[in-house]
Amino acid sequence: MAIPLGYCLNLRHQQQQLQSDCWATCLAIICDWRAVPITRPEILTRAPTILSDYEYGQMATCAEANKVIKTMSAGAIAFELLHDKKLYHEDFMRYVNTRRVVMLCMSNHMWLVTGYDAAGHLLIHNVGKPEGPEIASPSLIRRGMVDTMVLNLPQVD
């Protein structure tokens, strides 16, 4: 079923392959969107060399995911960590309107907020599912959000 769009960033959805690689899959989606040639398997393979207490395939925090992708992309992809900052619906829309993907951790799973539909409902890429984006209920985000980061704007030389 087609979602009547308000505004949506054109990210190509990917589905996670392991139980705990949602964070790496989210990063791979962003790399693909930003034309940075880094894949999910590369992220998972390199993460243990970047993070001291990380083992291949385990879940990463937002801060750890940021450190991995910032290192691997030589700073081309980096996030502003928002931690537990209280975000409102309008905050997500404002970030998306300025081409800043929001990556959030909810209940030990990472998601990407990439747009909103014509009624203003947020659209997420849930990498645990085969297709995306999908409409996210406001209550889902409010009740489960643990940690959040937003993609930094690209540097202009």
Q: What is the pTM of this model?
A: 0.91
Q: Per residue in 53-90, pLDDT tens?
A: 888 888 999 999 999 999 999 999 999 998 767 788 88
Residue 10: per-residue pLDDT: 92
Q: How does the average pLDDT of the chain come out, rounded?
A: 88
SS3 55: coil
Q: Per residue in 23-61, pLDDT tens?
A: 999 999 999 999 999 999 999 999 999 999 888 888 999
Alpha helices by DSSP H, 22-137:
22-33, 40-50, 62-72, 89-97
Question: Domains plus CATH for the chain?
Answer: 5-151 (3.90.70.10)
Q: What percent of the chain has pLDDT over 90?
A: 62
Peptide bond into 133 cis (omega under 30): yes
Contact 92, 9 (CB under 8 A): no
User: What is the token pair recorded at 46?
Assistant: 């390199």
Name every residue whose Cβ is closer than 8 Å to that of residue 43 and which is 6 or more positions away in sequence. 24, 27, 28, 68, 69, 72
Residue 29 or 138, more confident: 29
Q: How confident is the model at residue 156 (pLDDT cuts 50, 70, 90)?
A: very low
Assess whether pLDDT exceeds 50 at residue 157.
no
Residue 142: per-residue pLDDT: 65
